[in-house]
């Protein structure tokens, strides 16, 4: 193929990827503002400055577009969690120590908190899902990338055998509850300001950092016992 033909092909691929990302960004913005049910393909097309037919050509329908928005968000979150979990996964065959597991949880929960702070539109989409009983999320959950569930369960089993955990409750639910705690705290910052305006919780980095530290400490304390039982 002549160089000019290859160049045009690369440009078409680049334009297609840019168009796809533009549509995803517009959809994410509106899903965050209005939820899945309250967002129309027409509104997405207007914001993205593309036609409805082009959106259907790229994504098929609104549910598939919503799936792709959350798939992109899940990939980013999973990459972050993979970095946090990697040190513990690498040492999964070694005896697990309380300090090691506590540090793992602190890193993981802090990462969840920071990710939500950095992705406010994702946070709002999750709040909409919560308000609507996770009905739409349940329809698409099998199409979303998942973490290394078996490895997480293995690590929590090790922690339980080592006498580190307060409960043998599902490790995945325990981590999901940590996510919900971060989500609830961050979504409630305007409410806290209503009662305590002098704190300036939503805008002051120092207040946010203090809240982050308190939240991590309280969640970890609820999962890990103070003094592991001696073997």
| Confidence at residue 215, expressed as pLDDT on a 0 to 100 scale | 95
pLDDT tens for each residue of 20-65: 999 999 999 999 999 999 999 999 999 999 999 999 999 999 999 9
Neighbour-count burial of 68, counting CB atoms closer than 10 A to its CB (0-12 exposed, 13-18 middle, 19+ buried): buried
| Confidence at residue 71, expressed as pLDDT on a 0 to 100 scale | 92
39 compared with 192, residue with greater pLDDT: 39
Helix axes of 205-223 and 171-187: crossing angle, nearest 10 degrees: 160
Other C-beta atoms closer than 10 Å to the C-beta of 223 total 22
Distances (CA, A) of 202 to 111, 115, 120, 193: 19, 16, 12, 7
Of 8-17, 137-146, 164-173, the one with minimum mean pLDDT is: 8-17
Q: Which domains does the chain have, with CATH numbers?
A: 1-60 (1.10.10.60), 75-223 (1.10.357)
Q: Which residues contact 143 (CB under 8 A, 6 or more apart)?
A: 67, 71
Q: Which residues contact 148 (CB under 8 A, 6 or more apart)?
A: 82, 85, 89
**DSSP characters for 79-110?**
HHHHHHHHHHHHTTTSPPPHHHHHHHHHHHHH
Confidence at 205, pLDDT banded by 50, 70, 90: low
Q: Is the pLDDT of residue 85 over 50?
A: yes
Confidence at 147, pLDDT banded by 50, 70, 90: low
Give the Cα separation of 105 and 100 in Å (integer). Answer: 9
166 compared with 95, residue with greater pLDDT: 166
Contact 19, 54 (CB under 8 A): yes
pLDDT tens for each residue of 178-187: 989 999 999 9
Confidence at 153, pLDDT banded by 50, 70, 90: confident
151: phi then psi, degrees, rounded to nearest 5 = -65, -40
Q: Is the pLDDT of residue 67 over 70?
A: yes
């Amino acid at each position: 193929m002549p160089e000019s033909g290859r160049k045009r092909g690369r440009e078409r691929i680049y334009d297609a990827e840019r168009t796809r990302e533009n549509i995803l960004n517009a959809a994410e913005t509106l899903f965050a503002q209005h939820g899945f049910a309250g967002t129309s393909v027409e509104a997405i097309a207007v914001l993205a400055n593309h036609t409805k037919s082009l959106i259907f050509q790229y994504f098929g329908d609104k549910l598939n577009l919503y799936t792709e928005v959350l798939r992109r968000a899940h990939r980013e979150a999973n990459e972050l969690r993979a970095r946090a979990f990697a040190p513990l996964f690498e040492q999964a065959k070694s005896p697990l120590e309380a300090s090691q597991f506590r540090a793992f949880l602190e890193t993981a929960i802090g990462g969840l908190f920071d990710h939500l702070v950095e992705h406010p539109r994702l946070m709002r989409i999750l709040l909409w899902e919560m308000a609507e009983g996770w009905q739409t999320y349940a329809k698409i959950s099998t199409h979303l990338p998942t973490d290394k569930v078996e490895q997480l369960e293995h690590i929590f089993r090790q922690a339980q055998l080592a006498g580190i955990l307060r409960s043998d409750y599902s490790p995945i639910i325990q981590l999901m509850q940590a996510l919900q705690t971060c989500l609830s705290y961050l979504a409630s910052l305007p409410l806290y300001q209503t009662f305590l305006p002098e704190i300036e919780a939503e805008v002051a980095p120092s207040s946010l950092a203090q809240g982050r530290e308190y939240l991590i400490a309280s969640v970890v304390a609820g999962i890990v016992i103070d003094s592991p039982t001696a073997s």
